[in-house]
Structures are given as C-alpha cells and as structure tokens.
Structure 1
C-alpha cells in the first residue's frame, strides 16, 4: 500500500515489504506481551523505524492493531475469480490452496497466540482484539471465500443453495476439531502436520456434497 493511513475497511489491502516487516515485529510484541506491549514507541524501537512513519502508515494505535490483524488474515490468499474458475481442475486446485493456507494460518503459533489472548479477554467490554479478529480476520476471510464459491457455482463447477452454508461445510471439513485442540495446548499428530493432504481430503469430501 502507499504511505498513507489505511482504509478502515481493509478491503484488498496490500502492504509494502517494509510495512510487512514492521507488522511482523508488531505481531511478536502482541503475542509476547499482549495489547499493552504493542505501543508505537515500542514498535518504532523494535522495528527500527520512526513513530512518524507508523502514524503515516497505520494511523493511531487502534489502526495499528487493526493492521496487524488484517496482515495476518491476508496470509490466506485468494486468486482473481476469473482465473480461479478457468476450468474445473483449476478451480479445484484453488480450493485446495485456499484450504491449505487457511490451515497454515489457523494452526500457526501466531494465530493461536492471538486467539488465546483474545479468549482471555472475552469477558471484557473493551475486547478490541476479539472484535478485530472477527471482523478483520474471520469475517473477511469467509466473505472472500464465499465469493470464490459463488464464482464456482456461477460457472457450474459446484452446486449449492446457500454460499454461507457451503463455506461452513468446507471450513468444518478442513479444520475439524484440530484448531480447538491446538488452542487447548494439544500437539498435532504427524498426519495433521501435512496441511496440504488435509486440505485435499477436505475438498474431496466437499465435492461429494457439492460437486456439479
């Protein structure tokens, strides 16, 4: 993105390599010390940049926190719908790639730490992190995934009546109970570490239900 305050809706945001490096430092501060540890002064010192740059890129502290969550969510990539639905094989490949990246983000230590931190604050009225994880994380990913599924339905590659229901089925088939187990401190099995294999199985089962 260009050096200006981030659009509040965070739609299709693109960070520069320098901004991504700064946000990785911000994630480390947030995971290591909670919201209180994520300050502009602390981030500027850790990331070796000026506070002026941080304000120019992300706005105030709330904007910085929102950018951190959006950056993490953006690690799940989505292809242009026209390219994703070029043919049946291409579309299926993109669904597997989406499910693989989704699992990589959800099962990664950073996302697990952010979710644990948010859950620990869930009884607070000012749980900004929890709201951001829902709006800028989960909801943003699900909205774009539904658009991808709708594009596939439009091309006659899959069939369903409700895009949200179809996405929830795909999500459940991919994630299963592994995410909650990891949040509770369980260690994934060797098979569960093969994220692409899990994604392929999930998509295969999804097609049994929604394949055209």
Structure 2
C-alpha cells in the first residue's frame, strides 16, 4: 500500500502531511462505513479504500473503536466549522444570524446523513458506541457553541446569561423530532427544506434571545 509519504524523511509524514493524510483516511473510512455497514466495517477495509497500510491505521488510531471515535469527532467538528472559525478569528467577523444559520444547517446535515443514521441505529445495541456519539458529538460541540453564544451575549447581540441553556434551546429548535423521524424511516428532507428549517430555527431563537 502507498501511504503517500515517500517524500518525507525516514518515510514519516511531516505535521502538515499527517493532518492532510489523516483527513483523507477518515473520508475513505466514512465512505467504507456508508457502503458496507457497521457490522462489516473493518480496519483492513478502510485501509484498502484509503490506499493506506493497515499498520498505519493501527498506529494512528489504535483500533477500530479509535478510528470510529476519530470519525465521529471529525464529523462533529465539520458540522460546527463556522463556530470554530469565529472563535479562532474573533467573534463578530461574521454576522450573528449567518453564523447561527450555518451552524444549524451543518447540524441538520450531520444528523440526517447516512453515516450518522447508521451509527445511531447501531448505538441502540452498542453501549460503547452510544457513549462515543454522545461524548464526541453534542457533549463536545455544545460547550463550543455555548462559548460563542456567551461571547455574543457579552457583545450585546444576544441575551444569553446562561450560554449552556441557550445552546440547549437552539439545539432543540433546530433538531426537534427530525432525526428521530428519519431514523424511524421518514424521508430525509431535501436541501431546500433543510435550509428553510435552519433559518426558521434561528429566527425563533433570536426572537427568544435577542439582545436588542
């Protein structure tokens, strides 16, 4: 297998190469999981799809559970990419409404995506997987979004004296019963419907928590 590191000293990736290659492996692993399903997903299959060695995956992720955990983390991070960017660059570089709508849409795309649905179905009978989905998903991203809401409160744009509670309200308005419905077999809304839902949820949230 070609791990793509021929140009690195001693065959080991430099930091930037490692990050890029890890992302590519996770993308391949997500595609493999979506195709073969939870029960048939293996490190060897993910390695083949990624064009990497199985040894690399074990060295980087530890085992199948470690790879799954990293996949969940990366998906959760992508769903909140706009919030990560705002906190990194300084909140207020984007407008509040636009940031919240982008976050809401990313959350809806994540929760109704095929991999997320598959993992949530598998988690019903896999307590360890259920813990990973909770700890690396909402419980890790929630405080991040709460921090953003708290900073917007401090700037006078929101009334969120308790950012954690504000996040819970926002999350509830965005998700409502959509994920449960899709998990139970309802048709996933199309892109236009998801966008409209994100915008509606943010509008309701701002009515409740406007700082002006």
Q: Which has the higher contact order (CA 8 A, sep 6+)?
A: 1
Q: Is the 8 A contact 2:112 2:188 kept in 1?
A: no
Question: How far apart are the structure 2 equivalents of 1:160 and 1:46?
Answer: 45
Per-residue CA deviation, residues 71-101 of structure 1 (Å, 9 max, x unaligned), is 22122112232746327x7122111111111
Q: Is the 8 A contact 2:28 2:46 kept in 1?
A: yes
CA shift at 1:3, angstroms? 5.5
Q: What is the TM-score of this pair, normalised by structure 1?
A: 0.80
What is residue 106 of structure 1 aligned with on the other side? 111
**For residues 21-36 of structure 1, what are the structure 2 equivalents within 5 Å?**
21-31=24-34, 32-34=36-38, 36=39
Question: How far apart are the structure 1 equivalents of 2:176 and 2:56?
Answer: 41
Gaps spanning 5+ residues in structure 1: where? 5-14
What is the aligned length?
Answer: 193
**For residues 62-211 of structure 1, what are the structure 2 equivalents within 5 Å?**
62-76=65-79, 77=81, 78=83, 79-81=85-87, 83=89, 85-86=91-92, 90-119=95-124, 121-122=125-126, 127-189=127-189, 193-211=192-210
CA shift at 1:183, angstroms? 0.7
Say what the alpha-carbon RMSD is for the aligned residues.
2.5
Q: Is the 8 A contact 2:76 2:137 kept in 1?
A: yes
CA shift at 1:113, angstroms? 1.3
Gaps spanning 5+ residues in structure 2: where? 1-11
SS in 2 for 1:150: helix
After superposition, the Cα gap between the structure-2 partners of 1:37 and 1:25, relative to the gap in structure 1 and judged at 3 Å, is farther
Question: How far apart are the structure 1 equivalents of 2:87 and 2:23?
Answer: 25
CA shift at 1:108, angstroms? 1.2
